[in-house]
């Protein structure tokens, strides 16, 4: 307890140092961090091999081992990502609003860092470098608690990054890696009121639920991505098929992949057979409602639980709907507020779809796979929020800051 508490106090103190750094100093720091990773490549890959060997011995599943594994090209990608983050516009100091009040006061809203941001995540060791650089670029100290299976990789990455911090006169505590893998430490971390300003959990639903249930500091939640494609009666079938194939098959395991397709009954008889043939050719299992089955008998009958499921795999649930309102109602009931897509040539239908849904991202005639901070223009992404507080959808650097008020006067008082 004391140990974590001391670490968090040191992080809080370091946050003041980072917050006071100018944009150019931060850019130089992040570039130096990228270089330190490149220079430390051998040590990092050796440490990672140790984690991967242990995971293999423990017979972890292949997906976890894949997320855990670093190799020269993946490490190059991390280095490139850091160099890109170093060149993003600095949100700190941005004046988002400015006005003069009738009494002569000048009122501004100006972005400042959040303070200390905690990231709690699982197997991917690249998060250690990505998240650290995003938090630091936005002027925050960062506390990282990665998964036990990636401990040696994370230690090696943090050692390299600490070298860059030291060379730039930044206290090591600005990037604090929690190495105690006991889950109790997560509980203490998320209850550290006054020391942690925001917790961002990234990982499975179990981790996110544990954090939410125990937290006494603010948490940005990202439960899951159950993304829907609605093929409207007026859709261009070729366009809809393109969105379907891109959304379902290019990376089925990510949160912006499609999980369910809803098809307007007026287009179902022609669209569904084409779609099923294409999907099957790409190894996707289609689980259809009774109407889908009636149109194309070869599909697997869907259970009710298939609607709303995050398969993260080459499986797609398909349902025929009577109209757009039924599509909207289906998504409201089964969706996860992440990303929904409509394929349509009817502008009114598009507006109805947008306004009927409260998901974080709504797309008209575009692939769900664009629901990503980089693709939407944020430059990088620290997470995707599905709770409608602070940030909603992909979160970039600005989501790691907050607007505060700066007021300038000439002696104004309220009851003069």
What residues line the site for its own copies (CB under 8 A)?
16, 19-20, 99, 101, 105, 107, 112-115, 193, 197-198, 212-213, 216, 218-219, 236, 239, 242-243, 245-246, 250, 332, 350, 354-356, 358-367, 369-371, 375-377, 387-394, 402-416
Structural contact between residues 265 and 322, judged by C-beta atoms closer than 8 angstroms: yes
- What is the closest distance, in whole angstroms, from the C-beta atom of residue 239 to its own copies in the complex? 4
- What is the closest distance, in whole angstroms, from the C-beta atom of residue 356 to its own copies in the complex? 8
| Residue number, 39 or 246, with CB nearest to its own copies | 246
Which residues are CB-neighbours of 411 under 8 A, at least 6 positions away? Answer: none
Torsion from C-alpha of 38, 44, 45, 49, nearest 10 degrees: -170
Distance, CA of 190 to chain centre: 19
CA dist., res. 359 & res. 328, Å (int): 11
| Residue number, 271 or 296, with CB nearest to its own copies | 271
**Token couple for 219:** 């948490």
- What is the closest distance, in whole angstroms, from the C-beta atom of residue 319 to its own copies in the complex? 21
| Residue number, 146 or 394, with CB nearest to its own copies | 394
| Residue number, 15 or 32, with CB nearest to its own copies | 15
| Residue number, 154 or 221, with CB nearest to its own copies | 221
- What is the closest distance, in whole angstroms, from the C-beta atom of residue 201 to its own copies in the complex? 13
**Residue 116: strand, helix, or coil:** strand
| Residue number, 43 or 376, with CB nearest to its own copies | 376
- What is the closest distance, in whole angstroms, from the C-beta atom of residue 293 to its own copies in the complex? 28
- What is the closest distance, in whole angstroms, from the C-beta atom of residue 373 to its own copies in the complex? 10
Instruction: With both helix axes pointing from N to C terminus, report the angle between 41-57 and 23-39 in degrees, rounded to the nearest 10.
Output: 60
Nearest to 127 by CA among 70, 210, 182, 170: 70
Structural contact between residues 243 and 316, judged by C-beta atoms closer than 8 angstroms: no
Residue 283 CB-density burial (10 A; 0-12 exposed, 13-18 middle, 19+ buried): exposed
- What is the closest distance, in whole angstroms, from the C-beta atom of residue 298 to its own copies in the complex? 26
| Residue number, 34 or 366, with CB nearest to its own copies | 366
CA dist., res. 53 & res. 122, Å (int): 17
């Amino acid at each position: 307890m004391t140990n974590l508490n001391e670490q968090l106090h040191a992080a809080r103190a370091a946050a003041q140092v980072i917050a006071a750094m100018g944009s150019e100093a931060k850019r130089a720091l992040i570039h130096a961090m990228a270089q330190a990773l490149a220079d430390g490549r051998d040590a990092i890959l050796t440490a990672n091999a140790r984690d991967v060997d242990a995971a293999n011995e423990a017979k972890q599943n292949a997906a976890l081992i894949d997320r855990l594994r670093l190799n020269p090209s993946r490490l190059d990608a991390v280095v490139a990502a850091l160099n890109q983050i170093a060149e993003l516009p600095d949100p700190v100091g941005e004046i988002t609003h400015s006005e003069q009040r009738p009494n002569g006061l000048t009122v501004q809203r100006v972005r400042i860092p959040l303070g200390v941001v905690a990231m709690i995540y699982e197997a991917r060791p690249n998060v250690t470098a990505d998240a650290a650089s995003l938090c630091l670029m936005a002027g925050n100290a960062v506390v990282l608690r990665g998964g036990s299976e990636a401990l040696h990789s994370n230690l090696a990455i943090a050692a390299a990054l600490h070298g860059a911090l030291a060379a730039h006169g930044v206290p090591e505590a600005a990037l604090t890696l929690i190495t105690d893998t006991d889950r109790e430490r997560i509980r203490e971390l998320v209850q550290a009121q006054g020391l942690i300003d925001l917790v961002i959990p990234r990982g499975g639903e179990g981790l996110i639920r544990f954090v939410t249930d125990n937290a006494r500091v603010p948490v940005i939640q990202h439960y899951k991505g159950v993304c829907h494609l609605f093929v409207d009666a007026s859709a261009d079938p070729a366009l809809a098929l393109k969105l379907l194939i891109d959304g379902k098959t290019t990376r089925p395991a990510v949160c912006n992949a499609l999980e369910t397709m809803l098809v307007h009954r007026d287009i179902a008889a022609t669209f569904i057979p084409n779609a099923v043939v294409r999907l099957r050719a790409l190894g996707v299992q289609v689980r259809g409602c009774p109407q889908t089955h009636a149109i194309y008998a070869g599909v697997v009958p869907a259970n009710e639980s298939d609607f709303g499921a995050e398969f993260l795999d080459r499986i797609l649930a398909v349902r025929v709907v009577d109209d757009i309102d039924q599509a909207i109602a289906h998504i409201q009931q089964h969706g996860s507020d992440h990303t929904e897509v409509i394929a349509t040539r009817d502008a009114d239908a598009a507006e109805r779809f947008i306004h009927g849904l409260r998901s974080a991202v709504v797309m008209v005639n575009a692939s769900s796979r664009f629901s990503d901070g980089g693709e939407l223009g944020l430059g990088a992404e620290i997470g995707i929020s599905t709770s409608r507080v602070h940030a909603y959808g992909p979160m970039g650097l600005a989501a790691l800051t907050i607007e505060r008020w700066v007021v300038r006067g000439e002696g104004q008082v309220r009851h003069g």
